Every structure is written in structure tokens, then in C-alpha cells.
Structure 1
Amino acid sequence: MNSLSKTPSPWLVLYTKPRAEKKLAEQLLQDGIEAYCPVQVEIKQWSDRKKKIESPLLPSMILVNIDEDKRDRVFDRKHAVRYLYWLGEPAKVTSEEVESLRSMAEDSQFESQGLEKLKPGEKLDMTALGFEHIQGTVKFVNTQECWIVLENIGYVVRFKKT
């Protein structure tokens, strides 16, 4: 196969140890492995203060873009657990979906949407939420948060208003 005609490798979903998503993504980037941990900003309240924190959109998961023959390199880091499989194959996320996650996280377009208009079970064109060419299914919704199933990876993404 000609190297010029090589198609980009899909992003894979990698399980992490709990609360190690951002740390593992940073370590993999240092190792030269393209990794992405989508985050959202939340306001956490304690008895004496409020603080904005970044929490992962995909708890205990990150996305990695790595060639097939180098996939095991991620396990050189102790926080990597295993790859997510969907229907017997490694779960693959397209570059378009990753870019949509990036733009959604940066633009926070989700907050401007009327959550009360969404209904569980509704098929949702994710373009209105900052995604392109992605469809999801509303799993749960109330005035403060919404859970949407991303069918390509069989996972629920939780969005919260800040």
C-alpha cells in the first residue's frame, strides 16, 4: 500500500483506572501517542466554597489514535486498563466525532440549548450541540443535565449545565 494513500487510523476508546483520565492522556502525549480526554467544566460546591473543575465527559475512558501494530504501547503506563470493544471489535471513533467533541467542549454550545424540549428515546441530530454528522439518542433529561447515547461506541455521555 502506498503511504500517500494510507487512510488515517481511527481513534480507539481506552479504559483507564478511575479518576486517571487526564493524567493518562498527558502521559501518552509525552510518549508520542495521540490521546484526547474530552472534559466539561462543572461547578462543585463544598460547604465553604464553590470551584470550577474540569471533569471527563467519558468517565474512566480516553480516546487514542494509534497504529494497529503499536496498540500495546499504551499499557506501558499503569493507568491504562484495556480497550473498549463493541460487537466483538475494538470500538472505533471517527476523526469527525473527535473534532466534534473538541468543538463542543470548547464552545459550550450545549448550555444554550433548551433541555426541557428534549424527550427520552428521541433521536437527536447532534449538530445542534456542536457535533457534525453524529446522531445520538436521548437517554435521560431534566432541567440540569442530559444523557445522550453515542451509538458508535455504545456509551452514554452526560452533559451538565454549569
Structure 2
Amino acid sequence: MAWYVLYVKSNYEIKAATTLEKMGIEVYCPVIKEVRQWSDRKKIVSKPLFSSYLFIKIQESNRDMVFEVTGIVRYVYWLGKPAMAQDLEIDTIKEWLESGSTEKIIAEGLHPGDRIKLKSGVFKDKEAKIIDVGKNTLRLILVDIGFTVTVKLKEIQS
């Protein structure tokens, strides 16, 4: 049995997935954790990896029962047939999410002059000194070679 792809209303992904699970349907809604900034605080929230899409595993004869759930719009079609994802593709998404490669780092507390260690990328495990802190990037001087680089926040560890 393959995974069918459902198109759902915006911001209904997690609600629809929960309802489908209660109906006994195997569903997968990949989510990532993201830091959201409000005027008074920062909060880590769960956000669907694919906006407006869910994956379900269901018998062909039972496909219409998903439309009983609020927020589900239609099946996604490819070349006139319902789009399907293979188990290997779903497993790859799960492994990727579990590996933590989507992790984001808060730049809070990082200031020019601080010393950090890069945790991924070409200069992995190199020590660097912060020159400038941007919204999603840092400008650094690599201490060992005196080279200036710009890195994404996810590539560093303090």
C-alpha cells in the first residue's frame, strides 16, 4: 500500500492529521520546530514541513472517507492519477527530520568579539571570532587562518 498525498486548507495540517488518526487511518504530517519571535518573547512552535499537505496510507476502496474531516480539500493528482509516495520516500523524510538537520539556532546572546566553534559546513570544528551578527547569518574571522567568512546560524555552536 502506498502513501496518498492530500491537499488540506492552510493551517489545518496538524488538526486534520489528528482527526484522521482518530478514524484509524495511518497518517504522516512531518513537522519541524521553529523559533517564532513576538514583541515580548520567543517561542518554539511546531510547523508542518510541507504547508497544506498530508500523507495517508489507506485502502483504495476507503479513499472517500477522508472528506468527512474538516479542512481536507482533495487528493493531489499527477498525470491524471492520485499522487503517491513510496515507503522509502516517507522513511527518508523521517530520517532527515530525526537527524536534526533542520535545527535552527537563536542568535540571542551572540555579539561581535565572541568566539564560537563551527558545527557543520566546510569549516566544521574551526574556531572563529564574530565580526557581525545578522538575522540569519554571522560574519566571522577564522582564527587559525585569519580568513573572513559568512555562515548561516545553523552552522555554528557557541
Q: TM-score, normalised by structure 2?
A: 0.64
**Structure 2: distance between partners of 1:72 and 1:63:** 15
**Residue 50 of structure 1: which of 42, 56, 69 is its match?**
42
Higher Rg of the two aligned structures: 2
Partner of 1:91: 83
Q: Structure 1 residues 72 and 52 mapped into 2: Cα distance closer, same or farther (>3 Å)? A: same
Corresponding position: 1:73 with 2:68? no
Deviations 1:96-129 (A, max 9, x none): 11112122222213457649xxxxxxxxxxxxxx
Tell me if the contact between 2:32 and 2:102 (Cα under 8 Å) persists in the aligned partners. Answer: no
Question: Are residues 1:18 and 2:15 paired?
Answer: no
Name segments (4+ residues, structure 1) moved above 4 Å. Answer: 110-113
In the alignment, the residues of structure 1 paired with residue 72 and residue 154 of structure 2 have an alpha-carbon distance, to the nearest angstrom, of 30
Write the mapping of 1:1-162 to structure 2, written as runs, cut at 5 A: 9-111=1-103, 114=121
Unaligned residue ranges in structure 1 (runs of 5+): 1-8, 116-142, 145-159
Q: CA RMSD in A?
A: 2.3
Q: Alpha carbons of 1:48 and 1:110: their partners in 2 closer, same or farther (altered >3 Å)?
A: closer
CA–CA separation in structure 2 for the residues paired with 1:24 and 1:113 = 36
Higher helix share: 1
Q: How far 1:78 moved relative to its partner?
A: 1.7
Residues matched between the structures, number: 112
Distance change >3 Å, CA 10–CA 20, structure 1 → 2: same
- Using the aligned pairs only, state the percent identity: 42
How many Å apart are 1:94 and its aligned residue?
0.6
